[in-house]
Amino acid sequence: MGLLKNIPVFRLLLIAELALVLRDHYLFLTPPERKRLRQLVVRGPRMTADERAELRLLVAKLEPRLLAGAATEKLSPVPLPNLITKAKERKIASSRRQASVGASRSAGSLGASPEGR
């Protein structure tokens, strides 16, 4: 805690905001994917070619370009173009819509008989 006393409040707030942005993107992964990501990161350079390919897929799901845009938006003293900031919002809204549509489709098909359609 002694180290944090020497850091100005605005820097602490910035670190906290960046942590929240990172968390939002980390939550794009399912719990099993998050667990696997941690396992792969721990393996580090000892990963096999298949594991490296799996790591690439998991990192792609984190939306690194949008993550960079969101982090830059938090760090930037001037407003960023909508191309970066609105793209993040559209992507998150789109992924939430797709998840809810997929869930409602699968829930709707569970109890429905062919005659009822």
Contact 99, 61 (CB under 8 A): no
pLDDT-wise least confident of 36-50, 61-75, 82-96: 82-96
Q: Answer whether residue 88 shows pLDDT above 60.
A: no
* % of the chain with per-residue pLDDT over 70: 65
**Whether this model's pTM surpasses 0.75:** no
Q: Identity (one letter) of the amino acid at 38?
A: R
- The pLDDT value recorded for residue 97 is 59
Pull the structure tokens for residue 35.
């667990």
- The pLDDT value recorded for residue 7 is 74
Radius of gyration in angstroms for the set of CA atoms belonging to the chain, rounded to a whole number: 20
Q: Which CB contacts under 8 angstroms, 24+ apart, belong to 41-48?
A: none
CA distance 43 to 30: 20
